[in-house]
């Protein structure tokens, strides 16, 4: 593995910025710089959902190809530092996740916490902000942000029946049409703010979409459905026309302030 100095915390997939669409994948990667080893974890833990969103890297790449949109993906494991949390969130650097203790994350010296923020987290968010700004400049209108994640079929002994979930806070412009479009397939079970609530102050959508007032949606796909190439292809082909249809809606390219259920901006 590369050292932390040479480690690339993100990857940008080039695309047509005049489309007005930005794809974002906070948990696409599971890499760790060599100085961290595997964070003191037992072998195999980095293959689990606790380390990254299974299937999302491949899905993001394919969706970017099909839509022509640019994308930005985090390369580092969420166990090193979670790109989809605010800097003051207590789960930013997890010590325990789904029953697994992360030895290298406890105790955490303030200097080490700041080092991870400076070398991995902040460069990623700078890249997200830069890509969004470049799309904004290229179109002269507000960009539409589409964030991709995946979730486990079960968690803490509870089965999750949804094939996909749409997470959102107060801005309904993209989430409600997205849910309706997915439900055109009568076989799909689609969650509305399931299996998680989309109101998370300081997360990526809060920071890059809610604060500037950009239309956005966060889609969670169940991991077993995109765990192999065939599943990724099926979901990419399903999502591409939906995302393109959403992106053509005039309301997607107007900056509007809706606020947040997590409190004042």
How does pLDDT run across 21-59, given as a tens digit for each residue? 999 999 999 999 999 999 999 989 999 999 999 999 999
> Tokens in use for 126?
């700078």
pLDDT at 79 over 60: yes
What residues contact 115, with CB distance under 8 A and at least 6 apart? 4
- Of the chain, the percentage scoring pLDDT greater than 90 comes to 93
Residue 212 clears pLDDT 50, i.e. is over it: yes
Residue-level pLDDT at 6: 81
pLDDT over 60 (residue 9): yes
- Predicted TM-score of the model (pTM): 0.96
Average of per-residue pLDDT across 134-154: 98
Q: How many residues does the chain have?
A: 265
| Ordered domains of the chain (ranges, CATH) | 10-253 (3.40.630.40)
**Does the pLDDT of residue 219 top 50, yes or no?**
yes
State the Cα–Cα distance between residues 136 and 127, nearest whole angstrom: 14
Give the model confidence (pLDDT) of 102-121 as tens digits: 999 999 999 999 999 999 99
The stretch 193-207 carries a mean pLDDT of 96
Closest by alpha carbon to 169, among 204, 195, 205, 129? 205
Q: What is the mean pLDDT of residues 208-221?
A: 98
> What does DSSP assign to residue 142?
P
Q: Which residues of 193-225 are buried (b: 16+ CB within 10 A; e: fewer)?
A: bbbeebbbbebbbbbbbbebbbbbbbbbbbbeb
């Amino acid at each position: 593995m590369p050292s932390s100095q040479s480690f690339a915390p993100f990857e940008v997939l080039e695309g047509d910025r005049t489309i007005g669409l930005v794809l974002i994948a906070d948990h696409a990667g599971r890499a760790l710089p060599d100085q961290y080893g595997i964070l003191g974890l037992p072998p195999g833990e980095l293959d689990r959902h606790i380390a990254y969103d299974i299937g999302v890297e491949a899905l993001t790449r394919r969706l970017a190809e099909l839509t022509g949109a640019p994308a930005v993906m985090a390369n580092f494991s969420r166990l090193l530092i979670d790109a989809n949390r605010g800097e003051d969130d207590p789960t930013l650097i997890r010590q325990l996740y789904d029953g697994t203790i992360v030895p290298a994350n406890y105790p955490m010296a303030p200097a080490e916490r700041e080092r991870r923020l400076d070398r991995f987290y902040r460069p990623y968010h700078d890249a997200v902000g830069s890509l969004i700004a470049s799309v904004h400049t290229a179109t002269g209108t507000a960009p539409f942000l589409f964030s991709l994640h995946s979730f486990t079929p079960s968690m803490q002994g509870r089965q999750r029946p949804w094939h996909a979930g749409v997470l959102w806070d107060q801005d309904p412009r993209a989430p409600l049409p997205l849910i309706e479009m997915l439900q055109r397939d009568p076989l799909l079970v689609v969650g509305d703010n399931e299996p998680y609530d989309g109101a998370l102050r300081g997360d990526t959508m809060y920071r890059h979409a809610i604060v500037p007032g950009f239309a956005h949606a966060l889609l969670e796909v169940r991991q077993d459905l995109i765990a192999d190439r065939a599943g990724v292809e099926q979901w990419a082909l399903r999502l591409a026309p939906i995302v393109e249809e959403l992106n053509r809606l005039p309301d997607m390219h107007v900056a509007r302030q809706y606020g947040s259920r997590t409190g004042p901006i």
